[in-house]
Amino acid sequence: MFRFLLLAVILTAGTAQAQTAPSASDIASYTGLHLAAHEGDVDEINRLITTGSDVDIRDLSQRTPAHVAAFASHDDALIALANGGADMNALENRVYDVLTIAAVADDPEMVSLAMELGNAPDLITSVYDGTALIAAAHLGHHDVVARLVEGGAPLDHINNLAWTALIEAVVLGNGGPDHIKTVQILVDAGADKSIGDRDGVTPLQYATSRGYAEMIEILQ
């Protein structure tokens, strides 16, 4: 019973805990590096860094210019900021880093880039004490999951809901092709199929209870 109540709470609260990209009012207020990052203006980023601007300056939601560049999917801007000394492991007020922002956005190229620029794949993110891999698995972003696995993301990290990436791919997925591919990638990479939730329920048991035949075959 506990796990079903927990799932209901998560689904209800999901929107409240989700990442929040800069709003129209945030963007209208941006100046300096935040504005240049949002616009992807590499020349302006380089000029501002050269003249002494704080590369990790925060907006009202504690986003750095690197976070803003990630939300805007500006790879070149992110590179310029990293080259200028930006903290690639900085967390904004919802406890997200660049890597998890890119993972949730289903942006495989930025995911790989963020790791190349020093964003740690094992960084603990979100109010659920998760990782970028758990976030991507939850959403069925299998291309991102593959990049994160290749980059060394921890396969069996357990968040504060007592769920791994593999459990989330089953519990919070829809049993469709994207989540099936996610489960396959995780299993092939060596994710521990035996890890259960707080009640000891395993990914296979969850898949069985939902009638997810393809996942059952992978998890058996």
Task: Determine the length of the chain.
Answer: 220
Is it the case that residue 17 has pLDDT exceeding 60? no
Helix (H, G, I), strand (E, B) or coil at 8: helix
Q: Which residue has the higher pLDDT, 16 or 193?
A: 193
pLDDT, the chain, mean: 94
Is it the case that residue 160 has pLDDT exceeding 70? yes
Chain segment 61-101, per-residue pLDDT in tens: 999 999 999 999 999 999 999 999 999 999 999 999 999 99
Q: What single letter denotes the amino acid at residue 87?
A: D
Domain membership of residue 163 (yes or no) is: yes
Spacing of C-alpha 218 from chain mean position = 24
Domain membership of residue 208 (yes or no) is: yes
Chain segment 110-136, per-residue pLDDT in tens: 999 999 999 999 999 999 999 999 999
Is it the case that residue 204 has pLDDT exceeding 80? yes
Closest CA to 65 of 51, 50, 82: 82
**Cβ–Cβ under 8 Å, residues 66 and 87:** yes
Domain membership of residue 193 (yes or no) is: yes
**Cβ–Cβ under 8 Å, residues 81 and 89:** no
Q: What is the pLDDT of residue 12?
A: 39
Burial of 60 (0-12, 13-18, 19+ CB in 10 A): exposed
Q: What is the pLDDT of residue 167?
A: 98
Q: What is the pLDDT of residue 3?
A: 52
How many other C-beta atoms lie within 10 A of the C-beta of residue 192? 13
CATH of residue 213 = 1.25.40.20
Q: What is the C-alpha to C-alpha distance for residues 30 and 28, in angstroms, rounded to an integer?
A: 6
Is it the case that residue 7 has pLDDT exceeding 70? no
Number of domains in the chain: 1
Domain membership of residue 13 (yes or no) is: no
Domain range for 161 is 121-220
Burial of 13 (0-12, 13-18, 19+ CB in 10 A): exposed
**Cβ–Cβ under 8 Å, residues 147 and 108:** yes
Mean per-residue pLDDT, 155-182: 98
Q: What is the pLDDT of residue 15?
A: 36
Domain membership of residue 11 (yes or no) is: no
Helix (H, G, I), strand (E, B) or coil at 111: helix
Domain membership of residue 8 (yes or no) is: no
Q: Which two tokens stand for residue 215?
A: 């996942």
Mean per-residue pLDDT, 174-199: 98
Q: What is the pLDDT of residue 18?
A: 80
Domain membership of residue 213 (yes or no) is: yes
**Cβ–Cβ under 8 Å, residues 37 and 81:** yes
Rg of the chain's alpha carbons, rounded to an integer? 18
Mean per-residue pLDDT, 165-171: 98
Closest CA to 210 of 176, 184, 185: 176
Domain membership of residue 92 (yes or no) is: no
Whole-prediction pTM value? 0.92
